[in-house]
A and B are shown apart, each in its own frame.
Chain A
């Protein structure tokens, strides 16, 4: 055979020849050699067989992976279950967060209230606190309700009329003599130390 006289092609050339990937002139020369050289022909057949086996094995492996996710109903059930679990978990987390938020708000408000009450009772005079407590007692019916008409009242320092939410006091010295002067008025009489004149103040409430 003539193939015995030409050198054998390299294994890479035979591999490319077996897949049809050689250039035209190199493929013709390699083909004439393989047809006359039984060893190279066997090598080409071995390569083609191995290649076919690799392709078959690759196809089998792809089919096995696809078959693993081919149960769509099971997959949908799993996904919906996972979603439900996630939603339920999120709700649980949200409820826990809300409770914590309200607890912290309540604690903050209670602290501020306690601070306010402490400041109030240490800064506001006792008499004012008594008035507030009296108002509260009236509000819940333990005391008689306040009088909303016109009030005329004398004190050592002045005569006061309270009506329409406002109060007018005409002041006098503590030596003044207090008396009624009409059904609607109270009078204070005193001597002005500077001028020596008698001054009489009247406060009216109708």
Chain B
């Protein structure tokens, strides 16, 4: 067979493959996304809008852009204050998945609320197809105002929603106290972080897990503990391997200073770059059982790379660790109070970042838009919901 004929056959095969892909995409039009709730779910789907959604072919992959707007209704008997939807793509199961969390909801029975999910799925064209939808959205957990929950909780969402709700109640009480006592300058200063110029410092993160991580020249870096005075678990010391903008195997020694058995600890991490700027990198929850007055070590696997929001690698100069929250064996949770945060650091920017809960972010937006009157109205509405 001459070369021209071979190329001709190859071109024909590619054209046929593309035609099949387009046809398959058209056939699967209704199988891209599936939203399902259990029959006894406290929330039900009222409306579903999936536009604009596009499917394109990029070389040997298919790119599915999904933009769904769900309208859910609280069909239960209790106010819902938080919700987690689990997003799973069959091509990534079981290793990759996503979730959309709506904290600070305050949805009364019978009320409706919107949830938007914007995602992009890139899958090989040659990937096997199955009967189920490419992307499935299901309820993982719904948290009620009495801190009871419903749902399979496969993503440990109940704990996350409870932390958000406790932080929200803490910050609402704090702001209500400022309002009630007429401390308007303090209130203005507290909520100014909602300005675009004062939004929290942004980070870029990359988390690598699995074999084959390229080895760089590492050096040991001490982890400096940042204790909250009344935390039931205190960080003592720690270390990590650092190479440029990479942190590997961070480890912290902690001590349970309470008389209760601890079931899990969320360690917060602060990263200082070579310019002396501190960034709150987040809090990582570890299921670690610590008896009263016991000391243990909390370590993480994997490699974490830090960069600025522009994508430029960030050189790590210092690492700090604090206890973000603690869950006891009886299920109760501890979070730092405002006084704990104020006492932990003298840096106003860092203090502000530590205190920036989702609820305070939401209330700051209302304050900037509607002023003191709007904030008072919202705090009253939420207190009635609870």
Contact = CB atoms under 8 A, between A and B. Distances in A.
Contact of B98 (A161, A179, A206): A161
A19 interface: no
Nearest to B161: A200
Most buried by B among A105, A155, A178: A178
Main secondary structure of the interface of B (DSSP, over half): strand
A193 B135 CA distance: 25
A84 B280 CA distance: 91
Contacts of A103: none
A198 B283 contact: no
Main secondary structure of the interface of A (DSSP, over half): strand
Nearest to A203: B98
B202 interface: yes
Interface band, chain A: 35 or more
B203 interface: yes
Interface in A188-206: 189, 191-192, 194-206
A40 B298 CA distance: 152
B28 interface: no
A108 interface: yes
A97 interface: no
B118 A170 contact: yes
Interface in B98-148: 98-105, 113-114, 116-124, 127
Interface stretch (A3-11, A63-71, A85-93, A146-154): A146-154
Contacts of B123: 165-167
Given A189-B361, A202-B99, A202-B155, A166 B127 contact: yes
B301 A201 contact: no
B38 interface: no
B118 A148 contact: no
B101 A166 contact: no
Interface string A158-170: 1101111111111
The 10 A-B residue pairs with the shortest CB-CB distance, nearest first, are: A149-B210, A179-B282, A180-B282, A166-B91, A161-B96, A171-B118, A200-B101, A152-B207, A167-B122, A198-B358
Given A168-B89, A201-B101, A206-B209, 17 more contacts: A148-B210, A149-B213, A155-B311, A161-B92, A166-B96, A171-B118, A179-B205, A181-B160, A183-B284, A189-B358, A191-B361, A195-B113, A197-B102, A197-B104, A200-B164, A202-B98, A206-B95
